[in-house]
Amino acid sequence: MSDAAEVINTVLNEDGRYIPKSIERDERTSRGLIPKLMRMVGRIPFADDLVAAWFAARDPHTPTRAKAVLFAAVAYFVTPMDLLPDFITGLGFTDDATVLATALGLVGMHVKETHRAAARRILRVPEPVNED
């Protein structure tokens, strides 16, 4: 770490590594994902991508910068204050979908098939049929 502000703005995470406070805050916020998701799962067409992003962000092999982007996207979904409230029929999740799509566009290569499979298991979505 090259500068004092960067050191001051870090915390020791559960793995014993120092991470930026913003990532730790978003990780803490994102813990509400599964309960919220299970309440709304039938209404969210991008649920599998959202949960896969959450698993990728929690993976110790995912780079810190990718974790920051993924946790921020998941935290945005969990946070009750949105640009568009989730209860607005037809529009409520468009801002959440946009944030997630942007995050996946930036760091989607770190969301591996193992993360997607774990998301399908939690959501009870069948495995895709391989048509070779």
Number of C-beta neighbours around residue 113 at 10 A: 8
Residues in the chain: 132
DSSP type of residue 16: S
pLDDT band at 1, cuts 50/70/90? very low
Residue type present at position 54: W
Lowest-pLDDT range, 29-33, 38-42, 104-108, 120-124? 38-42
Which tokens belong to 84?
Answer: 């568009």
A 10 A CB-CB count for 96 gives 22
CA distance 111 to 96: 18
- pLDDT 10s digits, 39-77: 666 678 888 999 999 999 999 999 999 999 999 998 888
